[in-house]
Amino acid sequence: MYMLNDWHFARPALADSYLHLFELGLTSARGLFARRRMGKTEFLKKDFIPAAELRGYVVVYANLWDLEVDPATALIAEFYKVVEPKGFDKIWANLKLPVAKIKATGKIPLMIEGTLEAELSNVKKVTGTLLMDAMQAFDKTKKPMMLVIDEAQVLAYEENSHFCHALRAALDIRKERIKVIFAGSSETTLRKMFGVASEPFYNWAPLEPFELLGNEFVEVMVEQVNAISKYPLSLLEAQNAFSQLKNTPEFFRRYIERYLINPLDGEAAALETTKNKVFSDQNFKKQWSSLLAADRVILAMIANDVNDLHGKMALQRLSAELGIELNDVNKNTTQNALRRLANKNIVTKMDYGVYQFEDEAFADWVKHRD
Ligand SMILES: Nc1ncnc2c1ncn2[C@@H]1O[C@H](COP(=O)(O)OP(=O)(O)OP(=O)(O)O)[C@@H](O)[C@H]1O
Ligand SMILES: [Mg+2]
């Protein structure tokens, strides 16, 4: 059995280019986005953070998605761990309690609902104060900080708005010493976060696409395979596989693994198995059936690269598939569907009337369903 733990494709130049821009001093924050499973977290953790540490930054990393607590608490916790690990344990124990209670309850009996709500709002107040405390502890230290916020779009959710304002205020006055990376998989939400005037982080960080892994990544992976396997993998086949797997590094790694474990079955079989596994997700079915009929029609058009979603053809298709009179569908039908799909982070608006799936695998599933 091969262990593929050490198969990280290092990207030192990319890490350096990020650090370099911070060092030029033109910006103190950056936002980067790419779709799911494209390697953002792996880059941040394995390339960027070690490089930042080498340059003398203290690094705080928080992933706002895989959390057992709310993002505010998590971020402060990570912050404290780095800045003042000793004083932290006590605060943490106090803070965690009410949240843990709520999580455990699931269904909340009516009589204690009020108490829990009070405790929750208490947590919110406490996190505001704690953030200030944490920042003040940081002010007494010497090193610059790199704050890496992964899945940062979570900050834009309504329920986190209080904390988001507090965070922005705290960071505003520390731009010299705290550099921030916001990373996320929802371009729509990140765009809103940095591009809408009423949002706390409006204009706070330039937002740019994360550089995706490409041919060089495939080449290095193939070299690795061929260094350990008796059954060489051809670069051409691997490139084809990468493309069929929607250029998704995670899926490609699974393909490689499959190939190494069953080399005698050959490359084509490894690709077929991997595709079946990654593209026939039960979740897609669930997601699809939870959508309104109009949203499904629109989504299918996007999956099939229909360009003019607002045009006459699109309206005709809506009318035909929904079984309603052409007079009764109009541009609002399309507009509303697109808004719902974007709010659910299923699609991202690229331009007027041009939309793209956030998850290419879902696009493929929609396109090829029955
Ligand atoms: N540089 C790399 N070298 C080797 N494999 C990689 C690399 N980057 C990503 N991968 C593979 O892709 C997988 C997904 O990467 P990662 O979790 O970083 O994606 P992500 O963009 O953060 O996705 P999400 O938005 O779902 O969090 C990794 O677990 C790994 O298998
Ligand atoms: Mg990630």
In the chain (370 residues long), the average pLDDT of successive 10-residue segments reads 70 97 92 93 97 97 77 85 78 56 44 51 68 90 96 84 92 96 90 90 95 97 94 96 96 96 95 88 86 94 89 90 87 90 83 80 86
Looking at residue 153, its pLDDT comes to 87
How many other CB atoms sit within 10 Å of the CB of residue 95? 21
Question: Ligand 2 centroid to 128 CA: how many Å?
Answer: 26
Report the alpha-carbon angle 60-152-175, nearest 5.
55
Judge contact between 322 and 337, C-beta under 8 A.
no
Proximal ligand: closest to the CA of 254: 1
Looking at residue 144, its pLDDT comes to 96
Judge contact between 200 and 224, C-beta under 8 A.
no
Looking at residue 111, its pLDDT comes to 46
- Which CA distances in Å does 280 have to 72, 239, 317? 35, 22, 26
pTM above 0.85, yes or no: no
Residues with CB under 6 A from ligand 1: 7-9, 34, 36-42, 185, 249-250, 253
CA distance 343 to 366: 19
How many other CB atoms sit within 10 Å of the CB of residue 364? 20
Question: Ligand 1 centroid to 325 CA: how many Å?
Answer: 47
Looking at residue 122, its pLDDT comes to 59
- Which CA distances in Å does 330 have to 18, 54, 325, 339? 46, 57, 10, 15
- Quick one: how far is CA 17 from the chain centroid? 21
May I ask the CATH class of domain 282-368? mainly alpha
Nearest-CA residue for ligand 1 atom 23 is 37
Strand 178-184 vs strand 145-150: parallel, antiparallel, or unpaired?
parallel
Looking at residue 81, its pLDDT comes to 87
CB-based contacts of 146, cutoff 8 Å, min separation 6: 22, 49, 52, 57, 58, 59, 60, 178, 179, 180, 181
Structure tokens at 148: 């890496």
Q: Which residues pair with 208 in a beta bridge?
A: 32
CA 9 to ligand 1: nearest atom: 3
- The CATH classification number of 12-209 equals 3.40.50.300
Best mutation site among 250, 258, 348, 360 for ligand 1, i.e. most ligand atoms within 8 A of its Cβ?
250
How many other CB atoms sit within 10 Å of the CB of residue 231? 13
Proximal ligand: closest to the CA of 185: 1
CA distance 71 to 66: 10
Proximal ligand: closest to the CA of 250: 1
